[in-house]
Amino acid sequence: MSETMQTIMERRSVRKYKPDMVSKELIDQVVKAGTYAATGMGNQSPLIIAVTNKALRDKLSKANARFMGQSEDFDPFYGAPVVLIVLADKAHPTYVYDGSLVMGNLMLAATEAGLGSCWIHRAKEEFEDEIGKEILKSLGIEGDYEGIGHCILGYADCEPAEAAPRKENYVYYIE
């Protein structure tokens, strides 16, 4: 079996992290994989914002919990020290698919790098809110971007879950 296939089959969502910060080298490696995701007509509509600043990470967590309907004490990022925010330019008709492919590449690259990851939703709500608008403004990002997801990263503080059995009739062949 190829290493790529092995990584795909071993990837799991991690929901418990050690507080240890991930090195910039590993973050850069994961982010680079995201930049090589397929995009509609090669337009590269997504952006990735890598958040390692604890104060901003915690502010995002509180906002995410609020949009989730949880108390601000709940951490939807499960203690992960790194949040990779994926946004995509709504001017491109494939922007949601483009951003989703970036998220997939990020999670696979994290697995290959020995990191845990998980796709956390509500980036759309965050970037329609003042918190997201402030982040974009602070980075000088202009345009009409939609939050696609947060890829949280860190060192897993739990054993990987077993893969669920693949459902029957997952694939149909027409020959």
- SS3 sequence of 124-174: HHHHHCHHHHHHHHHHCCCCCEEEEEEEEEECECCCCCCCCCCCCCCCCCC
Q: Please choose, from the candidates 20, 2, 18, the residue with its C-alpha nearest in 3D space to the C-alpha of residue 10.
A: 2
Grouped pLDDT means (10 residues each) for the chain, 175 residues: 96 98 98 98 97 97 97 96 98 98 98 98 97 96 97 97 95 97
- The single-letter DSSP state of residue 109 is H
The pTM of the full predicted model, rounded to 2 decimals, is: 0.97
pLDDT value, residue 134: 96
- What's the confidence (pLDDT) of residue 72? 84
- What number of other Cβ atoms are within 10 A of residue 173's Cβ? 4
Q: What pLDDT sits at residue 165?
A: 95
Helix axes 24-35, 95-112, angle to 10 degrees: 140
pLDDT computed for residue 19 by the predictor: 97
pLDDT of residue 175: 97
Homologous superfamily (CATH) for 3-154: NADH Oxidase (3.40.109.10)
Helix and strand tally (H, E) in the chain? Answer: 6, 4
